[in-house]
Amino acid sequence: MLRISRDLLIKLTYLLVASLLFVSVGIIMYAENPERLIQGVWQEKEWHLEKDNAPHQNLTVAMLSKGLRDEILQELEEFHHGVWKFDGNRVIHPDGGVIRDEMEWYIKGRGHILELRRDGKPLESFQIQRIDENSMVLHLNLDLQVKGVIKIVLERIADREEYAKKV
């Protein structure tokens, strides 16, 4: 039976910890991260309303009561047209291209929180459930007329390069 000396094992442990540290730092430095992925133009596809005491409901943007949707996005007039435009300077542009009050976006946590601020004050924070080149799923905890989680599914309609050229 193969026996490894304890002196060797402790060295292997240190080597393992150091390797894991280097690998994780390398991935953080060079891998595609949510902050870069989110840049571009996103179109809302559907909203899912997930309540504790009600069956799961799938709602398209058109189906969702306008009153409820506007109340949820009360402070976020820029998103009332269903198009979310994130630029590289962390500014969100409204659909018409005119900025009423500049609003900034920030990614926090381990890359799983999207925070929106106006004049440096936090307005809303969403949990990024999934993000890739084509789609993004955001969760929003709400406590308005209904208590539950809103799941917002967005689809990329213009990539970063296209959007950067346009801007």
Residues that bind another protein (CB under 8 A): 17, 20-21, 23-25, 27-29, 31-35, 90, 106-113, 115, 125, 130
Closest approach of another protein to the CB of residue 106, in Å? 5
Token pair belonging to 72? 């949820």
Closest approach of another protein to the CB of residue 103, in Å? 14
Partners of residue 153 on adjacent β-strands = 46, 137
Closest approach of another protein to the CB of residue 68, in Å? 26
Identify whether the C-beta of residue 37 lies closer than 8 Å to the C-beta of residue 114. no
Smaller CB distance to another protein: residue 15 or 54?
Answer: 15
Q: Are strands 113-118 and 121-131 parallel, antiparallel or unpaired?
A: antiparallel
Smaller CB distance to another protein: residue 27 or 63?
Answer: 27
Determine the 3-state secondary structure of 29 from DSSP.
helix
Closest approach of another protein to the CB of residue 15, in Å? 13
Partners of residue 127 on adjacent β-strands = 113, 139
Smaller CB distance to another protein: residue 26 or 96?
Answer: 26
Determine the 3-state secondary structure of 107 from DSSP.
strand
